[in-house]
Structure 1
Amino acid sequence: MRRQRAAMWAIAAPMMVLAVATIYPILFGLNVSLKTRKDYVLDRLGATQTINLQNYADAWVNADMGRYFLNTIIVTGVSVVLLLVLASMCGYALSHLAFRGSRAVFFVILGMMMIPFQVIMVPTVKVLSDFGLIDTFPGLILAYVAQFLPFTVYFMTSYYAGIPKELTEAARVDGNGLFGVWWRIMVPSGKPALVSMGILNALFIWNDILIALLIMQSPEKRTVMVGVSTLRGQYPDNVPTYIAGVMLAVLPIIVVYLVFQRQITAGVTAGATKG
């Protein structure tokens, strides 16, 4: 009994430390964002004695956060849809269709996952510039799809590998073509993985600064995280307003994760088990 308790505490203690390390910055930022500028200067670490929502109004209106949110929603939505469609099709092909070189293609995709964006960012910008896609939403969407597609394809391939081939072969016998099998069998069967990948990719894209900063040069086309990064220059001596902008940017991420955390866990667990 004592050994079991000791083992439980050995696992629980690091998890509690990790939870505190994750939650504390959010609570600290919320506390700072509700302070007035004077209160923050007098007491930076103490709990706020007021609820100053004007910081949020200033960050939203003066920094044009509404436009940044709209830009990010458009880019994120289109990118995620393209990622899921392409990855689902590729995963079906690599896991159920026998063709020469399929294994080599899969290993190439694995290799692409190990290349950080910093290594390919100059060629990426050069290619997009040659096609006239710099400072355009299609260019940013293509950059996101290219960056996150390898991992999504790998995950969907691993998940689809657990679906019996007899199921797809029976669908072919019933008269379905490749597209019909993918649409009627693979997409419904892969729904948990698709939901997980959709949420994870949406979080990755929403949080990105580097790719958006390289490609989108016009202020009116900035995404929300790039817009928030510019708030520091607009309010160099007003930290509460800047932190309020940061809280506005991360709030949708927190809400999405809290709402869909079960789907994320279920999809990732199922993908790991089937892969």
Structure 2
Amino acid sequence: MAGRGMTRWVVAVPMAVLALATVYPLLFTANVAVKTRREYVLDRFSPPGSWNWENIATAWTTAGVSRYFLNSAVVVTCSVALLLLFGSMAGFALARLRFRGSSAVRLGCLAALFIPFQVIMVPLTRVMADTGLVDTYPGLVLAYVAQFLPFTAFLMTSYYSTVPPDIVDAARIDGNTTYGVYWRIMLPMGAPALISVGVLDALFCWNDVLIALLVMPSADHRTLMVGVTSLRGQYSDDIPVFASGVLIAAVPVLAVYLLLQRRIADGVTAGATKG
């Protein structure tokens, strides 16, 4: 019994330290965001004397975070929708359809996961410039789809591979075409995986700085993370306003995780426990 208790402590203490290291930056940022500039200069770690919500209002309006937020919301929504559509189609085709070169395509998706974006960013930027897609919403959406589609397709392929073949055979016997099997059977069955992959893709796109900075260089079209990064230079003498922008950028990610954490965990483990 004593040995079991010691084992729990050995696991619990490192996990508690890891949780504190994860939560502390957010708490520190929130603490700085509601301080006055004078309070921050005197003591950046102490609690605020009064809750100064004007910093958040200044970041949202004067600093242009509201515009950056809207840009990110539009781009991330469109990108995730296309990623889930194409990724689920590719996953179904690679998992359940046999065609010439299917193994090579599957290996290609896996290999693409190991290619850093820095390797392809110069050719991508030149292609975007030649096609007139630089500084446009469609250009950034297509860049995100191209970058994260291999990841989405690979995970959906792994999930659909666990679906019993009898289900697909039964759907074909009922008269469904290949499209009908995908739309009526496989797409609804893939909902847990789609939610998990969709959240991960949304986080990737929302937190991206490098791709957005290359494809959307103008100030009016900046995404939230690029815009918040630029605030560090504009408000170098007013750190509470900069912290407010960082807090605004972090709140949607935290809210999505808290609302969907159980669905995310179920989707991640579904492929390993199904069938």
Q: What is the TM-score with the length of structure 1 in the denominator? A: 0.97
1:84 alignment counterpart: 84
SS at match of 1:89: helix
The share of aligned pairs that are identical, in percent, is: 56
Write the letter of the residue equivalent to 1:155: L
1:33 alignment counterpart: 33
Matches within 5 A, 1:60-71: 60-71=60-71
The number of residue pairs the alignment matches comes to 275
Note the alpha carbon deviations across 1:19-76, whole angstroms, 9 max, x for none.
0000001001111111100111111221211100010011011111111111111100
Q: Distance in 1 between matches of 2:179 and 2:69?
A: 35
2:94 alignment counterpart: 94
Note the alpha carbon deviations across 1:161-199, whole angstroms, 9 max, x for none.
011111112211212111111000001110000011111
Q: Distance in 2 between matches of 1:274 and 1:136?
A: 42
Note the C-alpha offset of 1:273.
4.1
Write the letter of the residue equivalent to 2:8: M
Write the letter of the residue equivalent to 2:149: L
Write the letter of the residue equivalent to 1:203: L
Note the C-alpha offset of 1:94.
0.7
Write the letter of the residue equivalent to 2:102: S
Matches within 5 A, 1:124-135: 124-135=124-135
Q: What is the TM-score with the length of structure 2 in the denominator? A: 0.97
Q: Distance in 2 between matches of 1:272 and 1:131?
A: 42
2:151 alignment counterpart: 151
2:105 alignment counterpart: 105
Q: Distance in 2 between matches of 1:76 and 1:182?
A: 25
Note the alpha carbon deviations across 1:102-139, whole angstroms, 9 max, x for none.
11211111100011111111111111111111111111
SS at match of 2:258: helix
C-alpha RMSD over aligned residues: 1.2
The 10-residue stretch of structure 1 (101-110 or 242-251) with the greater mean CA deviation from structure 2:
101-110
1:223 alignment counterpart: 223
Q: Distance in 1 between matches of 2:243 and 2:272?
A: 37
Q: Distance in 1 between matches of 2:271 and 2:131?
A: 37
Matches within 5 A, 1:110-259: 110-259=110-259
Note the alpha carbon deviations across 1:207-257, whole angstroms, 9 max, x for none.
111110111012111111111111112211000111011101111111111
SS at match of 2:220: helix
1:23 alignment counterpart: 23
The 10-residue stretch of structure 1 (101-110 or 238-247) with the greater mean CA deviation from structure 2:
101-110
Q: Which runs of 5+ in 1 are unaligned?
A: none
Structure 1 segments of 4 or more deviating over 2 A? Answer: 271-275
Note the C-alpha offset of 1:271.
2.7
Q: Distance in 2 between matches of 1:3 and 1:171?
A: 53
Q: Which runs of 5+ in 2 are unaligned?
A: none
Note the C-alpha offset of 1:274.
5.1
